[in-house]
């Protein structure tokens, strides 16, 4: 598949999309290596309303943007002999993980690494961009969002997620305090930033800072938030949703959790919560069977039909690797209703 050309949408002033928000998952990870300036720029130019940086710390406690602290799959660190001795095995959230970890690198060392496509066998088109990007800091994503807001005439929000917050607090690199400092330093408002996490304690720490920002409780499909003694299933009951509403404004379930006979969407709205579903992708292997086209797992299926279904159900936001398709599907729906 070839990425279509995209242009900055017209219009000035704060962005108020007609229809569900479109959130660029790690940027536009379907078209560019994730969490790179190229991916975020593509997402905004494709029409994304928010861009999502996942946050992990460096050894010198700078927040950088990676989906997890192990960076062997998204950078060229494995081929860098000067860092061979950093390869190790750690227990992160109760699981043994082997590789190279952000908390073992100073920011200046991470700066020397180059980014690569996480899924080269699925998205070989993106490998042409291997080596072109670097590991970004959260501050750099904020700065980029501001520049892209000026360019597009829309106010682009950042949507940071605290990754493995219990683990990082246990090793003396707490995420929330540094996140709060960066937010305050940049004077981010509710129109600029929404904070998400799978761990309620992390969100409660951010809430206690009284930043005035919306908070988003992410929800998995099995198990529960690490170290919290509660299951995601229980969190998605009416009582669980009322508890979430005491500290958060959004829930972010897997899109499969919203398919009828599930009543999660209606229950969340009844609790006063907005609902943003993750993660929308276009390849057959990530689509429900009804939306697949042909037998090739990496070929594109009928992603438009999947968006149409969820938009029709009343979801408030979609988190997607392909914001261009999500935006076009939103435009299609607006033209019909």
Average pLDDT over residues 192-219: 99
| pLDDT > 90 in the chain, percent | 93
- Give the tens place of pLDDT for each residue, 27-81: 999 999 999 999 999 999 999 999 999 999 999 999 999 999 999 999 999 999 9
Q: Residue 75 domain-assigned?
A: no
CATH number, domain with residue 195 = 3.20.20.190
- Sequence-distant (6+) residues with CB within 8 A of 260 are none
- Asked whether residue 308 is assigned to any structural domain, the reply reads yes
Residue 4 in any domain: the answer is no
| DSSP string computed for 309-331 | HHHHHT-SEEEES-HHHHHHHHH
Q: Write down the mean pLDDT value for the chain.
A: 95
pLDDT of residue 335: 78
Q: Is residue 170 part of a domain?
A: yes
The closest alpha carbon to 10, from 152, 140, 173, 184, belongs to 152
For residues 13 and 11, give the distance between their C-alpha atoms in angstroms, rounded to a whole number: 7
Judge whether 265 lies within some domain: yes
The mean pLDDT value for 305-332 works out to 98
Within a domain: residue 304?
A: yes
Classify residue 164: in a domain, yes or no: yes
**CA 100, CA 270: separation in Å to the nearest integer?**
44
d(C-alpha 316, C-alpha 155), whole Å: 18
| Domain presence at residue 10 | no
Q: How many domains does the chain contain in total?
A: 1
Structure pTM? Answer: 0.94
pLDDT > 70? residue 171: yes
Containing domain of residue 146, as a range?
Answer: 21-68+127-336
pLDDT of 8 over the 50 cut: no
């Amino acid at each position: 598949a070839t990425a279509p050309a995209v242009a900055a949408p017209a219009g000035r002033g704060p962005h108020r999309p007609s229809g569900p928000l479109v959130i660029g998952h790690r940027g536009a990870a379907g078209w560019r290596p994730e969490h790179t300036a190229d991916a975020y720029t593509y997402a905004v130019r494709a029409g994304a309303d928010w861009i999502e940086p996942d946050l992990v710390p460096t050894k010198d406690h700078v927040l950088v943007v990676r989906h997890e602290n192990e960076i062997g799959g998204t950078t060229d660190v494995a081929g860098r002999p000067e860092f061979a001795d950093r390869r190790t095995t750690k227990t992160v959230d109760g699981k043994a993980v082997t590789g190279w970890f952000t908390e073992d690198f100073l920011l200046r060392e991470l700066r020397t690494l180059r980014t690569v496509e996480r899924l080269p066998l699925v998205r070989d088109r993106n490998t042409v961009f291997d080596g072109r990007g670097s590991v970004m800091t959260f501050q750099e994503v904020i700065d980029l969002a501001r520049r892209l807001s000026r360019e597009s005439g829309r106010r682009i929000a950042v949507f940071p997620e605290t990754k493995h917050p219990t683990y990082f607090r246990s090793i003396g690199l707490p995420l929330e305090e540094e996140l709060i400092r960066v937010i305050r330093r940049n004077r981010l408002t509710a129109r600029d930033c929404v904070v998400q996490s799978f761990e309620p304690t992390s969100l409660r720490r951010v809430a206690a800072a009284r930043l005035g920002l919306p908070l988003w409780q992410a929800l998995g499909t099995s198990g529960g938030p690490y170290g919290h003694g509660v299951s995601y299933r229980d969190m998605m009951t009416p009582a669980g949703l009322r508890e979430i509403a005491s500290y958060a404004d959004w829930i972010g379930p897997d899109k499969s959790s919203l398919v009828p006979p599930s009543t999660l969407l209606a229950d969340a709205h009844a609790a006063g919560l907005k609902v943003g579903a993750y993660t929308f992708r276009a390849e057959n292997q990530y689509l429900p069977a009804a939306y697949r086209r042909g037998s090739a797992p990496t070929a594109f299926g009928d992603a438009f039909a999947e968006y149409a279904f969820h938009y029709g159900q009343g979801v408030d936001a979609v988190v997607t690797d392909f914001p261009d398709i999500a935006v076009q599907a939103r435009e299609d729906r607006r033209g019909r209703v």
